[in-house]
Structure 1
Amino acid sequence: MSNTIKNYQKIDLIAVKSTYVVALLILIGLLIWGVSSAFHFMNYEETNDAQIKEYINPIVSRTGGYIEKIAFEDHQYVQQGDTLVVLETNESEVSLQEAKAALAEAEAQLMVLESNVNTANSNATVNQAQIGAAEAKLWQQQKEYERYKKLHEAEAVTQQQFEDVKTRLGVAKSNLEAVKNTFNTSQNRSNDASTQIAVAKAHIEKQKSVLDRIQLELNYAVILAPSDGYMGEKRLQAGQFVQKGQTLSFIVDQTQGKWVIANFEETQIANLREGQPVNIQVDAFPDEAFEGVIESLSPATGSQFSLMPPDNATGNFVKITQRFPVRIRLKKEQQDLSKLRAGMNVEVAIPKA
């Protein structure tokens, strides 16, 4: 019985010593962790309010129409210039033929007007020559009238002869006026035709612009990828009508790189500078470390960029620690960034300046 008691006492003593050893190891571990954490806290600014960012561009239709073909799938990788969506173009092609016909008609009308101008100018040239002849005829008749008038006063010619000469003078004057009126009419016709030519040319330019607009609509009927990247969710169906300016899908741009937006508290900003190195830990890949560099600090808090910034003068003020967005450029050297996706949560640590 006494031996059994002694054995139990030995076991209890061993258990107590083991507990002390374990407790001591835990205490040492806590001390090491505490010292390490304190050192890290004193020398680094940290935040877990940070995400991976990429440019996510909308795919927008620049014309309206019914969808004829959809050439992408959910999350598909596409290259710049790849066809994404094709719209029906039957109506636009009919409008294109109408616009071409209207342009041809306007150009033909211009040719007719130019021909009329040439004809009017030719007639005016002829009439101008006729004016010279009529003026010479009038001058001749005027001189003959003056001679016969003197002879009539001297009673060297009869009254009938004098009246004949006077009549021919009146006819010459009328002929000159008639030729001048015809010349003026020809000039007016030429001016009118020239004005109509200007109108016809303006009409041609208008028809050309209509033709160009329809051609643009035909080009816009084929919607292309604006950059290399991954497509978002496909929410379209063949035969669906889309309007001009409607967002059809989104593409995650792979050409402009990736970065991190970390939201630091305002009490941490004093220790941050552009160009500082950054240690990045991605929640999705806890065993990998990424490096970055502070690219820029926001000029205002995130709340100031909201749709309705807070107004602290309303009497409902409650002091809340504000956060400043900090843009961090991911280093591409010796890092595989292809696995990182926009929106991933990360933790960043920046050595204090």
Structure 2
Amino acid sequence: MSDKLKTYEKIDHAAVKVTYTVALAILLGLLVWGAYTFLQFRKYEYTNDAQVKSYINPILSRASGYVDQIRYTDHQQVHKGDTLLLLDINEARVQLQQSKAALATAEAQLKVLQSHVKTTRGGATVDQAKIAAAEAQLWQQQKEFDRYQNLLKTEAVTRQQFEAVQTRLEVARSNYEAVKNTLGVSIGKTRDVNAQIAVAEADIEQRKAAVERCLLDLKYAVITAPSNGFMGSRTIQEGQYIQKGQTIGFMVDKNQGKWIVANFEETQIAQMHEGQAAKITIDAYPDAEFRGQIESISPATGAQFSLLPPDNATGNFVKITQRFPIKIRFADDNPMLDKLRAGMNAEVSVLRE
């Protein structure tokens, strides 16, 4: 019996030693972890309120029409200039033909007016020649009238002869005035036609603009990718009518790159500044570590940019620690960057300086 007790005592003693050893190891591990964590917290400002961001561009239609073809799928990678959508262009072609016909009509009308100007200018030139002839005839009749008037005083001519000369003078004067009036009418017609030409030229410019507008509609019927990136979910169908300015989809812009928006508490940002180094860990890839640096610090909290910012002057006040969005650019060309997607959660540590 005593041998069994001794055996049990040895087993208990060994178990106690193992327990103490394990407990001591755990304690040492906790102390090491605690010391490391303490040093890390003293060295870095840390937050897990962070996400990967990218520019998400809306793709807008610059023309109205029915969707003829859709040439992209959900989440497809596209390159700048790739055709995404084709609108039906039959109506635009008809409008283009109508605009070209209206332009041709306006140009023909302008040619008619220009020809009319030449005609009226020619008539004015003839009238000017007639004025010169009428003026010479009037001068001659005036001289003859003066001579007969002197002869009448000496009774060298009869009154009947004098009155005939006087009548011819009045006729010559009337002819001269009539020709001058005719010239005035011709000049007035020329001015009117010139004014009509100005209107016709303006109408031609308007018709040309209409043609250009139709050509643009034909061009805008082909909707292309504005940059390299990835398309979002497709929300339109073939045969659907879309309006000018309507959003047909969204694209994650690859050219603008990716960055992190980390929301640090207001008690953490006192020593932060642009260019400060940061370590980034993405929840989706916990084994990969990224380097970055602060690009900008928000001038206000996120709540201040909301549609209805909180007003602490109304109601009861409860002090809540605010957070400031901080934009962090990736500082390396880690091949894992291509795998990151907008909206992924991240953890960020900013090196204290």
In which range does the TM-score fall when normalised by the shorter chain?
over 0.9
SS at the partner of 2:270?
Answer: helix
1: CA distance, partners of 2:48 / 2:213: 52
**Is the aligned partner of 1:191 residue 2:191?**
yes
Q: What letter is aligned with 1:319?
A: K
Please say if residues 48 and 346 of structure 2, whose CA atoms lie closer than 8 Å, have aligned partners that are also in contact.
yes
Match of residue 35 from structure 1: 35
Name the structure 2 match of 1:229.
Answer: 229
1:332 shift after superposition: 3.1
Q: In the TM superposition, what is the alpha-carbon distance from 1:317 to its structure 2 partner?
A: 2.5
Deviations 1:65-122 (A, max 9, x none): 1000000011111100000000001111111100001111111111111111111111
- CA shift, 1:334, in A, is 4.6
Q: CA deviation at 1:225?
A: 0.1
From the superposition, tell whether residues 211 and 316 of structure 1 become closer, same or farther in structure 2 (CA, over 3 Å).
farther
Partner of 2:256: 256
Aligned length: 353
Q: Deviations over 1:228-262 (max 9, x none)?
A: 01111112111011111111111111111111110
Q: Return the alpha-carbon distance in structure 2 between the equivalents of residues 269 and 263 of structure 1.
A: 10
Task: Look up the match of 1:149.
Answer: 149
Give the Cα separation in 2 of the matches to 1:307 and 1:60: 25
Distance 1:319 1:90 in 2: 64
Confirm whether residue 322 of structure 1 aligns to residue 322 of structure 2. yes
CA displacement, residues 112-136 of structure 1 (integer Å, 9 cap, x when unaligned): 1111111111111111111111011
User: Is residue 290–residue 335 contact of structure 1 (8 Å, CA) maintained in 2?
Assistant: no
Structure 1: which 5+ runs fail to align? Answer: none
Matches within 5 A, 1:68-83: 68-83=68-83
Match of 2:246 in 1: 246
- 1:178 pairs with 2:181: no
Aligned residue in 1 for 2:331: 331
Match of 2:218 in 1: 218
| 1:130 is the counterpart of 2:130 | yes
Return the alpha-carbon distance in structure 2 between the equivalents of residues 233 and 191 of structure 1: 64
Residue 101 of structure 1 aligns with which residue? Answer: 101
The residue that corresponds to 1:161 in the other structure is 161
1:118 lines up with 2:118 in the alignment: yes
Q: Residue 89 of structure 2 corresponds to which residue in structure 1?
A: 89
For 1:285-324, list aligned pairs within 5 A.
285-324=285-324
Deviation string 1:285-343 (CA, Å, 9 cap, x unpaired) is 11111110111111111111111111122233321111111111102335431011111
3-state DSSP of counterpart to 1:250: strand
What residue identity is the alignment partner of 2:125? Answer: T
Preserved CA contact (<8 Å) 1:294 1:329 = yes
Q: Which amino acid aligns with 2:148?
A: Y
Question: How many Å separate the matches in 2 of 1:190 and 1:203?
Answer: 20
8 Å CA contact 2:43, 2:351 repeated in 1: yes
**Structure 2 CA distance, aligned partners of 1:343 and 1:316?**
35
Whichever residue aligns with residue 187 of structure 1, its letter is I
Is residue 107–residue 204 contact of structure 1 (8 Å, CA) maintained in 2? yes
For residues 85 and 217 of structure 1, the distance between their equivalents in structure 2, rounded to whole angstroms, comes to 14
Structure 1 residues 334 and 239, CA gap change in structure 2 (3 angstroms): closer
> Please, what TM-score do these two structures have when normalized by structure 1?
0.98
User: 2:302·2:325 contact (CA, 8 Å) conserved in 1?
Assistant: yes
Unaligned runs of 5+ in 2: none
1:170, distance to aligned residue in structure 2 (A) = 1.0
CA distance in 2, matches of 1:152, 1:111: 60
Q: Distance in 2 between matches of 1:209 and 1:83?
A: 27
For the residues of structure 2 that align with 1:139 and 1:316, how far apart are their CA atoms? 108
> Structure 2: which amino acid aligns with 1:192?
D
CA distance in 2, matches of 1:75, 1:335: 21
Matched letter for residue 76 of structure 1: Q
Residue in 2 that maps onto 1:277: 277
* Contact residue 290 and residue 332 of structure 2 kept, 8 A: no
Question: 1 CA distance for matches of 2:173 and 2:313?
Answer: 96
Q: What is the TM-score with the length of structure 2 in the denominator?
A: 0.98
Please state if 1:347 is matched with 2:338: no
- Which residue does the alignment assign to 1:206? 206
Query: After superposition, what is the alpha-carbon deviation per residue over 1:4-40, rounded to whole angstroms, capped at 9, x for unaligned?
Result: 2222222111111111111111111111111111111
Identity %: 60
